[in-house]
Every structure is written in C-alpha cells, then in structure tokens.
C-alpha cells in the first residue's frame, strides 16, 4: 500500500508517520506563536506592552514558559485517582490534534481530504471533554469537580448549536467535504449568505474553547482554574497546548467554512503560497476577534450560558436550517436564493441581538439623584 | 447587543492608545521631591561629622520603635581640641527598616535637622534575602548623604 | 445536610466548598465556606479575622500624631478618609479650630481618595465578574495618576499620614491646582471607560441585575452604610445629612438605587465618582491661600477628658471613630466603626439561594477591605 507524499510514492505507514510528525511539530510552534500573540494583543488592549524581556519583542516568552513548565515538578495529589489523573491530559491532547487531519490550508494542501470532513471534525472535537471530566474527577478537588461538571454541561449545550450552524452551511454548500466547501466560496464567502450561522459558530467556538465569556469551567475568580487546578508542569502544559491548538484549528475551520478559506477572493488559480497566506490571515483575524472578545467581556453564569444555548442559539439554528431548506428546495437561480438566504439569516441575527438586549433591559438603569433637601430628611 | 458592541469599542480605542507601561528596572520614574522612602541620617560637610547628636527624640517619637540610638561625647568638640560645636554626637544608630512604617514623625521631631526621608530610588529598591540585613547601622544610614547625592526635603 | 427528595431513590449530599483565605476572588484574606447544591449556594459561612492586627489597641498606646499612621493602615484604600475621621475626633475632643484652607484641601484629597477607591472597586469588581484584567488595568491606570498626585503632595503613595489634628502636616505643592486639573481630566476619561466597558454590557447586566438584592429595611437592620445602603434606596450620605468640613457649601447629588442589587451598587458608585469630580471642581474654585494649621499649636497635643464619636462618609460607608480620653496625649480607648464589617454581615443574606458565581459577584459588590473588617 502506497500513498502520495510530496509528489513521491511511500508506504502508507511512513506517510502517516511523517504527516503526524509534521502536524505535531508545526502545531507546537504555532501554539507558541499564538500564546505570544495573545499576550501581546491582550497587553495592547489593556494598554500594556505584553512580554518584552525574553528575546526581541518577547518572542521567546513561550519558549521560556515551556522550559519552566518542563522543569517543574510534576505533582500528583495524594488522593488523586492515579490512572484517571495521569491519562486525562492525553484525552484532551490527542482528539485536538486529530481534528487537524481534515482542516484545509490551501488547495490540495491538507493532511487528508475527507469526504465527510466537517462531520469528522465535529465528531473528534467532542471527545476532548472526556479528558476534562477525567481531570476534574481524578484530581479529587472540589473546585476541579465543579469545573469539570460545568465543562461537561457546557460542551453538551454548545455542541448542538455548533452542529446546527455547520449543517446550515453544509446545506448551502451541498457537501460535507471541507475542500469543496471552500472551493464553493470562491466568489462569495458563506458569511454573507449565512451571517446567523456564522455568529452561532463563533459563539459556540468560544464555548468549545472555554474562552471568555464562556470560560466558566476555568473561571479564575470562581473555581480557580477548574479541572486543571491540581495539575502542574508538563501535564498542565499539555492542557494548555491543546487549548491553543484547538483555538487555531477552529479558527482555520471557521475561516474555511465562513470566510472562504483560501478560495475567496482570488479563486483557486493563485499559487499555494498565496493561498496559505490568505488562510493564515483569515484565521489570524478570527483569532484576533477571539482575543478581543476575551479582553472585553465578562464571564457568563452557568445558567445563563445554558439558557443562551438552549433557548436562543438552538431554536435559531433549527429555524435557519428550515429556512434554508425551504429556499434551497425550490431550485431557484443562485442570485435569488442567495439574496433570500442572506436577508433571512441577517434578520435572524438581528432577532438574536434583540432578544439578548431585551432579556436584560430594565426600565431605568440609571440611579436616582437626590438633591440636598430630599437627602436631608 | 448594543452594550457588547460598545464595550468592544472601548477596548478597541484603548488598543489604539499608547501603552502606559514603564519598563521598571531600566526606566525609573522621576520621584517627586517629597517622596518618602526610609529615614536616613544627614552628613554635615562643614564639620565632617553627622548632624545627629544622639538626643533620642526620634527614638522616643517612633510609633513602631524601630530605632536604637546611642550617644557619646564628641571627640571633635572644642573642649577636646577639635573645631566642632557639638558637645555630644551620635555613637551608634540602628534603624530596622523592616519595622519602619515611614510615617515621617522622626523627621518632624528632630531638633537638629539631622534625619530625613530618602527621596531617591535607592530607598525603594531595598530587597534583601535576610530580614536581618534590613537593620541599618550608622555608616549605612549616613552613606547616602555622605555621597552628596541626597537632596533632602523639609516640610516648609 | 443530607436531603432526600421524594421520588428520588438515592441520597444526595450538599458539597462544602472552602473559598479563601487564598482564593483569588475573596479580596484579601476573607474566607467563606459555601454549602452548594450543584451550583446553588445553600449556606454561606463567613470567617473573618485573618487580618486582625489589633490596630485599635495599638493606637491606644500612641499619641495622637502617631495614631494617624495606624488609621492609614486600617483602611488602606481610603486612607485620607480614615485619617479624617481620626483627626476630626481628636479635634473635637481638643476643641481645635481648623483653618479654612486646610478644610478645603482635606475635602479635595478625600474626594480624590474616594475616586481612587471607587476605581479600585470598578477594577476588582470587573475581575470578579470575569473580565480578563481589562477593567482592572483601566481602573488602575486612573488610580495610578491619582496616587501620583498624592505622592507629590504627601510623599507616599499609600500611607499618607498627612492630616494632623488641627490641619495638615505641610502645605501642598505649588502646582497643586494644575495637577488636580490633570488628574480630574484623566479621571473623567477613566470613568467614561469603565462606564462604557461594563455598564451597558448585556453580559454584565445579566450577571449583576437582580443578584444579591437587599431591601432598604434589611440594609438598615444590618447596619449597612455607604453605597450598599444607598443602592437599596436610602439616601443616607453623611456629607448631606450631617455635613462636616465644608460639604454644606458645595453642590452635589446623592445617587440612590432602586432595586438594591449588585447592578445598583455598581451604578451608584459610578455616579458617585462623577459627583466627586464635581465636588473637587467646586473646591478648587473656593481654595484660597491661608494658614493650614491653627495659630498656636502645642508641641504635644493633649486633650481634656471626654469621649467623642465622629463619623464621616468614607467611600465604603460610615467610617466612625469612637474615642475616649482621660486627659493626656493619647486616647484611653479607641474604637473604629468599620463600614466594611457591617456591610459584610449582609453577605450571607444576599448570597443564599444564588449561584456560586453570584456569591463572588456579591462579595465583590460589597467592596470590602479586609484590613478594615478585621482591624
């Protein structure tokens, strides 16, 4: 059995090994870059400088952090369940990297072109929650336990809107193959046709990644790090690595299915390097948005988070699918159905915004002012 | 959603502003003249001896009792053949910076203007590995003033 | 603690969670034990006393000037206000008349201190609610400019020891007016930033509205004062009701909440910051040159025997000093009436039945200073 790798025929196992090594190596570098990027960006949002000490512009900060984490003592609490505690990082780490297999970078430039790529990514991404719950349970710590249960509830709630958003896109694209979804957007990115699913996808991504405003499983001021509270050193850094790797992958995915990946606006005729650059820029914008949200918004509460998912995002996701179906089943010309899709979806997005605003508004949010005579009584 | 967008706008405007960070060990903020770090003894350059006569006023006034003062007869006094007008002079002086609460009372009670609060960065960067090192003796207390760099501030 | 719900065949048990004294959300060394059923707080047991230093007792062994430093350390976020209560109590005992200029300067510094303290609240509360440091850093930027001004005047960033019985320790700097103008300008920007960052934010409102409600009657029963009481709708502000210094001569409003929840406490504090800016501007207009200490001050202040209770409106509420003197240069008995201590008592009432995350938010909205609680 032979497979094609960089234009030459090699054994499939060698091929697989080489690809895995490339992924792990690349992801480690990317994650380090992302951590540095996040610290710099959030620093600027907070009018700070971010890391400046290690290397030029603090570029080596992640290396220094990594070295420190590797050198740190790997502590296991006395009452922890040894197997569950030790294995948990792998259950988070491995599924995250498996997601990478189907993600498109450029035309023909991905690990595997899977026919059910979208489905595969979704299926694999939900495995890592097992690792979170294992970490929370195995640590024998109450904060960790609370965090793990929060994480499980959150993952279940937000998996569904994520699926709904992706189904809506798949309906428009007519395929689950990620490469073809991207190719189909060479003239118009999906975000124009499907703004509501794009919003749902972004929200659900934040929840999947446990990032603000959905960082309740790891909420620093409540459960002090959640499931990771007992982890240290290399094990903790595996969670960390997986978190950022997942962020990068979901950003790539988001840019592929909503922003047109490498295809929009130049189509497929441009070279692979341009396409790569385009993908990176779009994913970078996506990640920048995540950082921006992180540095701005407060954390939601666990019941509000559930309510938002089940009462707002999920019904709207269903509605979008139904509307898509009603429009697409007629087989109208592309322009007609495109305009209809875009307007209905945008209306849905505004409806979500209105509901969110409505749910918290109070008649008079400003305090009453008491002048001197009234106050003196 | 309007409020969320407004929040995002605020952070974006901050993103465009200049960072306010000072990179501390390299760039030191200029300290105001009145800055109070830790009390120091002043050096009388005319008589080449400390101003302090060891009168115990500061020791008695100190709320946290961080000072220990011992006085002696001035060997440089006129009666002993020297040219100083100080009959008594400080013999030994310890201030435990670990106890000092920098309240400025010792400076206010001093009748000889012999003690002042350090208003340079050397008074702030005083971390040591052992608390015992925070107990300063007479030469250490005088060294800043003897070096001539200290411009002590006095309340008008 | 063990409860069996009808129709449920297995027993469930509430989980006890210990928060603090080294928990990031407990504002110092406050410890609370939460009994949670899932995410819902069923019981809350506060433990205080980790910061007890005996500051009141210590100050009884000191003369009146030495005691000022301990007041700074009692209320380390509103030091001028704490000093003010103490020195005014001494002044009342000794019958000292404070010169006008000193009073105006005291007012300006106290209001600036209120600003810096409320900035500390906005930042810390933002962090409690879960803003990743942004609110904290914005607040601290403004607080820092205010502290810079305090350092220029008093020489220290936190422990000022600047107010003295009778007046002020020394004159303010020559460029005082210009610097206050600069600080106010940046403070206005800071208030705008904090207001824009959180007040209208839907998530923030969802997190704070209708959380930790305390009714006006309950707030009065618990002895709450300051923004916590005013958020419940009671317009009690000592600057208005029993004006001290020159507060009767300036014009300002007292913001009052309507519901008494966490959000109202936030709004009241934000509005108080605006009012503080207003007060400072009026004070600056009325500031005239003059003496800052009475003509004849004894070298060692002695008071006639007597007792006095003096309260002022500190940023967190009523900061009262009860002082008994038997004659001599030191108080025979000193008792600090701490607003935080009283406000903290209401926490249990507010937090039971809410979520764990709400308990943190409610604690943050009380804006306690543990040093003042434990003294």
Q: What is the DSSP string of A136-152?
A: HHHTT-HHHHHHHHHHH
Helices (H) and strands (E) in chain C, counts: 15, 11
Mean pLDDT, range A267-287, rounded to an integer:
81
How far A292 CA lies from chain B's nearest CA (Å)? 7
Mean pLDDT, range B83-89, rounded to an integer:
82
ipTM: 0.86
pLDDT band at A188 (very low <50, low <70, confident <90, very high): confident
> How far are the Cα atoms of A97, C33, C127 from residue A5, in angstroms, in the given order?
20, 60, 50
Query: C138 CB near a chain B CB, below 8 Å?
Result: yes
Cβ of B34 and C155 within 8 Å? yes
Question: Which of C25, C206, C231 comes nearest A222 by C-beta?
Answer: C25
Provide the token pair at A277.
Answer: 């650059």
Q: Which residues from chain C sit within 8 angstroms of residue B123, using beta carbons? A: none
Query: What is the span of the domain harbouring residue B97?
Result: 35-146
Reply yes or no on whether the pLDDT at A367 is more than 70.
Answer: no
Mean pLDDT, range C33-55, rounded to an integer:
86
C-contacting residues in A 111-130 (Cβ below 8 Å): none
The predicted pLDDT at position B45 comes to 83
Reply yes or no on whether the pLDDT at A373 is more than 70.
Answer: no
By mean pLDDT, which of A7-16, A76-85, A326-335, A358-367 is the weakest?
A358-367
Cβ of C198 and A356 within 8 Å? no
Q: How far apart are CA C335 and CA C324, in angstroms?
A: 9
Q: How far apart are CA C17 and CA C59, in angstroms?
A: 37
Nearest to A266 by CA among A181, A179, A186: A186
Question: Which of B3, B8, B21 comes nearest A292 by C-beta?
Answer: B8
Helix (H) or strand (E) run with residue A17 in it: helix A12-45
Contact (CB, 8 A) for C332 and C60: yes
The predicted pLDDT at position A327 comes to 86
Question: Which of A292, A353, A357 comes nearest B11 by C-beta?
Answer: A292
How far C259 CA lies from chain A's nearest CA (Å)? 10
Query: A367 CB near a chain C CB, below 8 Å?
Result: yes
Q: How far apart are CA C363 and CA C125, in angstroms?
A: 9
Averaged pLDDT of chain A: 82
User: Helix, strand, coil proportions of chain A in percent (round to 5)?
Assistant: 70, 5, 25
Reply yes or no on whether the pLDDT at A377 is more than 50.
Answer: no
Query: A376 CB near a chain C CB, below 8 Å?
Result: yes
B5, B8, B10, B120, best to mutate vs chain C, most C CBs in 10 Å: B10
How many contacts (CB atoms, under 8 Å) link A and B?
39
Q: How far apart are CA A313 and CA A307, in angstroms?
A: 9
How far A55 CA lies from chain C's nearest CA (Å)? 25
Q: Which residues from chain B sit within 8 angstroms of residue A45, using beta carbons? A: 11, 14-15
The neighbours of chain C, by the rule of 3 or more Cβ pairs under 8 Å, are A, B
Q: How far apart are CA A300 and CA A207, in angstroms?
A: 11
Cβ of A298 and C240 within 8 Å? no
The predicted pLDDT at position C255 comes to 87
Contacts of A353 (CB under 8 A, 6+ apart): B1, B2
Q: Which residues from chain A sit within 8 angstroms of residue C264, using beta carbons? A: 367
C155, C160, C168, C205, best to mutate vs chain B, most B CBs in 10 Å: C155
Q: Which residues from chain B sit within 8 angstroms of residue A49, using beta carbons? A: 19, 21, 23
Q: Which stretches of chain B sit within 8 Å of chain A by CB?
A: 1-4, 7-8, 10-12, 14-15, 17-21, 23
Tell me which DSSP letter residue B29 carries.
P
pLDDT band at A376 (very low <50, low <70, confident <90, very high): very low
pLDDT band at B129 (very low <50, low <70, confident <90, very high): very high
Would strands C254-256 and C306-314 be described as parallel, antiparallel, or unpaired? unpaired
Query: A343 CB near a chain B CB, below 8 Å?
Result: no
Cβ of B8 and A353 within 8 Å? no
How far B56 CA lies from chain C's nearest CA (Å)? 16
Would you tell me the crossing angle of helices A82-98 and A117-125 to the nearest 10 degrees? Answer: 160
B2, B13, B15, best to mutate vs chain A, most A CBs in 10 Å: B15
B32, B38, B110, B116, best to mutate vs chain C, most C CBs in 10 Å: B32
Instruction: Determine the residue of chain B that is closest to C192 in CA distance.
Output: B10
The predicted pLDDT at position C322 comes to 92
pLDDT band at A363 (very low <50, low <70, confident <90, very high): low
Residue B72: give its domain's CATH number. 3.30.70.3270
Core vs surface per residue C37-62: b (16+ CB within 10 A) or e: eebbbbebebebebbeeebbebbbeb
Q: How far apart are CA A312 and CA A309, in angstroms?
A: 6
Cβ of C237 and A375 within 8 Å? yes
Contacts of A173 (CB under 8 A, 6+ apart): A180, A181, A184, A185, A190, A257
Averaged pLDDT of chain C: 86
Q: Which residues from chain B sit within 8 angstroms of residue C68, using beta carbons? A: 103
By mean pLDDT, which of A84-93, A266-275, C80-89 is the weakest?
A266-275
Query: A342 CB near a chain B CB, below 8 Å?
Result: no
Cβ of A43 and B10 within 8 Å? no
pLDDT band at B124 (very low <50, low <70, confident <90, very high): confident
Burial of A277 (0-12, 13-18, 19+ CB in 10 A): middle
Q: How far apart are CA A24 and CA C223, in angstroms?
A: 61
Q: Which residues from chain A sit within 8 angstroms of residue B12, using beta carbons? A: 292
Cβ of A375 and C207 within 8 Å? no
Nearest to A316 by CA among A279, A342, A357, A350: A350
Cβ of A302 and C357 within 8 Å? yes
Mean pLDDT, range A11-15, rounded to an integer:
80
Contact (CB, 8 A) for C14 and C42: yes
Query: A297 CB near a chain B CB, below 8 Å?
Result: yes
Q: How far apart are CA B46 and CA A279, in angstroms?
A: 76
Cβ of B63 and C66 within 8 Å? yes
Specify which residues C268 forms β-bridges with: none
The share of chain C scoring above pLDDT 70, in percent, equals: 97
User: Helix, strand, coil proportions of chain C in percent (round to 5)?
Assistant: 50, 15, 35
Pairs from A236-241 (Cβ < 8 Å, separation ≥ 24)? A236/A69, A237/A66, A237/A69, A237/A70, A238/A89, A238/A90, A238/A92, A238/A93, A239/A89, A239/A92, A239/A93, A239/A135, A240/A35, A241/A27, A241/A28, A241/A31, A241/A93
Q: Is the Cα torsion angle A195, A196, A201, A206 positive or negative in sign?
A: positive
Reply yes or no on whether the pLDDT at C2 is more than 60.
Answer: no
Task: Give chain B's domain count.
Answer: 1
Contact (CB, 8 A) for C343 and C316: yes
Mean pLDDT, range C18-29, rounded to an integer:
78
Reply yes or no on whether the pLDDT at C71 is more than 70.
Answer: yes
Contact (CB, 8 A) for A46 and C138: yes
Residue, of B59 and A106, whose pLDDT is higher? B59
> How far are the Cα atoms of A261, B68, B104, C6, C159 from residue B96, in angstroms, in the given order?
66, 9, 15, 67, 18
pTM for the full predicted model:
0.88
Instruction: Determine the residue of chain B that is closest to C154 in CA distance.
Output: B34
Burial of B36 (0-12, 13-18, 19+ CB in 10 A): buried
Q: Which residues from chain A sit within 8 angstroms of residue C205, using beta carbons? A: 360-362, 365
Contacts of C91 (CB under 8 A, 6+ apart): C98, C165, C166
Helix (H) or strand (E) run with residue C168 in it: strand C167-168
How far A361 CA lies from chain C's nearest CA (Å)? 8
Question: Which of C24, C241, C267 comes nearest A224 by C-beta?
Answer: C24
**A374 alpha-carbon distance from chain centroid:** 54
Q: How far apart are CA C78 and CA C271, in angstroms?
A: 18
Question: Which of C200, C257, C355 comes nearest A301 by C-beta?
Answer: C355
Other CB atoms within 10 Å distance of the CB of residue B81:
8
Contact (CB, 8 A) for A168 and A257: no
> How far are the Cα atoms of B43, C266, C349, C368 from residue C211, in angstroms, in the given order?
62, 12, 12, 17
Reply yes or no on whether the pLDDT at A364 is more than 60.
Answer: no
How far A247 CA lies from chain C's nearest CA (Å)? 18
Provide the token pair at C43.
Answer: 């019981």
The predicted pLDDT at position C209 comes to 84
Mean pLDDT, range B11-32, rounded to an integer:
85
Specify which residues C47 forms β-bridges with: C31
Mean pLDDT, range A13-27, rounded to an integer:
80
pLDDT band at C132 (very low <50, low <70, confident <90, very high): confident
Contact (CB, 8 A) for C326 and C60: no
Q: How far apart are CA C288 and CA A72, in angstroms?
A: 62
> How far are the Cα atoms of A176, A359, C145, C190, C289 from residue C162, in angstroms, in the given order?
72, 49, 18, 26, 18
By mean pLDDT, which of B80-94, C3-17, C295-309 is the weakest?
C3-17
Provide the token pair at B57.
Answer: 């006023």
Mean pLDDT, range A152-160, rounded to an integer:
87
Reply yes or no on whether the pLDDT at C356 is more than 60.
Answer: yes
Q: How far apart are CA C362 and CA C208, in angstroms?
A: 8
Residue-range domains of chain C with CATH: 11-374 (1.10.645.10)
Query: A355 CB near a chain B CB, below 8 Å?
Result: no
Nearest to C313 by CA among C21, C81, C137, C151: C81
How far C169 CA lies from chain A's nearest CA (Å)? 32
The length of chain A, given as a count of residues: 377
The share of chain A scoring above pLDDT 70, in percent, equals: 91
Instruction: Determine the residue of chain A that is closest to B7 in CA distance.
Output: A296
Q: Which residues from chain C sit within 8 angstroms of residue B61, using beta carbons? A: 66
Cβ of A146 and C39 within 8 Å? yes
Q: Note the maximum CA span of chain A.
A: 92
Question: Which of A145, A212, A376 comes nearest C240 by C-beta?
Answer: A376
Q: Is the N-terminal amide bond of B140 cis, ω within 30° of 0?
A: no
How far C151 CA lies from chain B's nearest CA (Å)? 6
Provide the token pair at A13.
Answer: 């196992």
The predicted pLDDT at position A3 comes to 66
Cβ of B20 and C141 within 8 Å? yes
Question: Which of B8, B10, B23 comes nearest A52 by C-beta?
Answer: B23
Burial of C329 (0-12, 13-18, 19+ CB in 10 A): middle
In chain A, what are the domain boundaries? 1-71, 74-357
Would strands B135-136 and C2-3 be described as parallel, antiparallel, or unpaired? unpaired
pLDDT band at C198 (very low <50, low <70, confident <90, very high): confident
């Amino acid at each position: 059995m032979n497979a094609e790798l960089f234009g030459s025929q090699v054994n499939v196992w060698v091929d697989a090994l080489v690809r895995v090594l490339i992924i792990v190596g690349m992801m480690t570098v990317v994650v380090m870059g992302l951590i540095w990027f996040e610290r710099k960006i959030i620093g600027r949002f907070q009018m700070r400088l971010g890391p400046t000490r290690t290397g030029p512009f603090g570029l080596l900060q992640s290396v220094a952090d990594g070295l420190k984490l590797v050198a740190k003592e790997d502590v296991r609490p006395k009452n922890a369940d040894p197997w569950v505690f030790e294995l948990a990082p792998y259950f988070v780490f491995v599924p995250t990297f498996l997601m990478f297999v189907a993600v498109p970078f450029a035309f023909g430039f991905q690990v595997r072109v899977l026919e059910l790529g979208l489905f595969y990514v979704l299926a694999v991404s939900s495995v890592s929650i097992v690792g979170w719950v294992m970490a929370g349970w195995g640590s024998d710590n109450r904060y960790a336990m609370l965090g793990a249960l929060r994480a499980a509830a959150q993952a279940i709630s937000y998996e569904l809107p994520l699926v709904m958003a992706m189904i809506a896109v798949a309906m428009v694209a007519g395929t689950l193959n990620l490469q073809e979804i991207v190719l189909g957007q060479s003239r118009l990115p999906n975000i124009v046709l499907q703004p509501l699913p794009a919003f749902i996808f972004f929200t659900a991504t934040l929840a999947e990644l446990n990032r603000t405003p959905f960082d309740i499983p790891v909420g620093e001021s409540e459960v002090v790090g959640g499931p990771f509270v007992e982890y240290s050193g290399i094990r903790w850094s595996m969670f960390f690595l997986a978190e950022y790797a997942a962020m990068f992958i979901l950003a790539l995915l988001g840019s592929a299915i909503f922003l047109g990946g490498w295809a929009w606006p130049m189509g497929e005729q441009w070279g692979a390097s341009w396409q790569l650059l385009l993908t990176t820029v779009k994913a970078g914008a996506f990640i920048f948005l995540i950082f921006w949200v992180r540095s701005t918004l407060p954390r939601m509460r666990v019941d509000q988070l559930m309510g938002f998912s089940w009462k707002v995002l999920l019904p709207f996701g269903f509605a979008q699918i139904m509307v898509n179906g009603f429009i697409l089943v007629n087989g109208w010309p592309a322009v007609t159905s495109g305009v209809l899709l875009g307007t209905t979806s945008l209306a849905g997005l505004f409806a979500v915004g209105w509901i969110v605003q409505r749910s918290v508004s109070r008649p008079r949010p400003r305090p009453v002012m008491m002048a001197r005579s009234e106050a003196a009584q | 959603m309007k409020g969320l967008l407004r929040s995002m706008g605020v952070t974006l405007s901050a993103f465009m502003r200049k960072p306010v960070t000072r990179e501390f060990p390299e760039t030191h903020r200029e300290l105001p003249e009145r800055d109070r770090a830790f009390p120091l003894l002043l050096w009388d350059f005319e008589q080449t001896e400390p101003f302090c006569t060891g009168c115990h006023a500061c020791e008695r006034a100190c709320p946290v009792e961080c000072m220990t003062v011992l006085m002696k007869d001035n060997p440089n006094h006129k009666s002993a053949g020297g040219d100083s007008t100080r009959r008594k002079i400080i013999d030994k002086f310890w201030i435990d910076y670990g106890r000092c609460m920098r309240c400025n009372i010792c400076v206010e009670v001093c009748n000889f203007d012999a003690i002042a609060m350090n208003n340079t960065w050397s008074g702030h960067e005083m971390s040591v590995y052992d608390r015992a090192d925070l107990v300063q003796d007479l030469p250490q207390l005088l060294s800043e003033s003897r070096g001539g760099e200290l411009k002590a501030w006095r309340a008008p | 603690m063990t409860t069996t719900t009808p129709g449920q065949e297995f027993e469930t048990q509430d989980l006890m969670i210990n928060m603090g004294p080294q928990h990031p959300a407990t504002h110092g060394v406050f410890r609370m034990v939460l009994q949670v059923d899932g995410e819902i707080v069923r019981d809350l047991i506060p433990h205080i006393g980790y910061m007890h230093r005996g500051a009141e007792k210590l100050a009884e062994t000191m003369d009146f000037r030495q005691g000022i430093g301990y007041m700074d350390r009692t209320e380390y976020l509103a030091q001028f206000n704490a000093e003010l209560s103490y020195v005014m109590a001494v002044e009342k005992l000794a019958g000292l008349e404070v010169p006008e200029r000193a009073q105006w300067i005291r007012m300006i510094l106290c209001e600036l201190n209120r600003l810096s303290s409320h900035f500390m609240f906005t930042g810390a509360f933002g962090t409690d609610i879960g803003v990743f440091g942004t609110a904290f850093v914005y607040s601290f930027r403004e607080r820092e400019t205010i502290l810079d001004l305090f350092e220029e005047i008093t020489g220290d960033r936190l422990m000022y020891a600047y107010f003295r019985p009778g007046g002020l320790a020394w004159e303010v700097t020559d460029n005082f007016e210009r610097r206050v103008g600069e600080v106010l300008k940046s403070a206005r920007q800071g208030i705008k930033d904090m207001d824009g960052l959180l007040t209208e934010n839907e998530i923030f409102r969802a997190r704070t509205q209708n959380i930790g409600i305390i009714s006006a009657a309950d707030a009065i029963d618990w002895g709450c004062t300051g923004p916590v009481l005013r958020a419940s709708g009671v317009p009690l502000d000592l600057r208005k009701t029993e004006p001290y210094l020159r507060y009767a001569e300036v014009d300002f409003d007292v913001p009052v909440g309507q519901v008494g929840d966490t959000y109202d406490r936030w709004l009241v504090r934000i509005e108080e910051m605006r009012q503080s800016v207003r007060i400072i501007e009026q004070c600056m207009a009325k500031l005239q040159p003059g003496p800052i200490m009475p003509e004849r001050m004894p070298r060692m202040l002695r008071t006639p025997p007597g007792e006095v209770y003096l309260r002022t409106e500190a940023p967190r509420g009523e900061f009262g000093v009860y002082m008994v003197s038997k004659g001599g240069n030191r108080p025979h008995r000193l008792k600090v009436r701490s607003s935080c201590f009283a406000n903290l008592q209401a926490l249990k009432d507010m937090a039971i039945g809410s979520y764990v995350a709400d308990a943190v938010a409610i604690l943050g909205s009380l804006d306690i200073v543990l040093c003042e609680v434990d003294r």
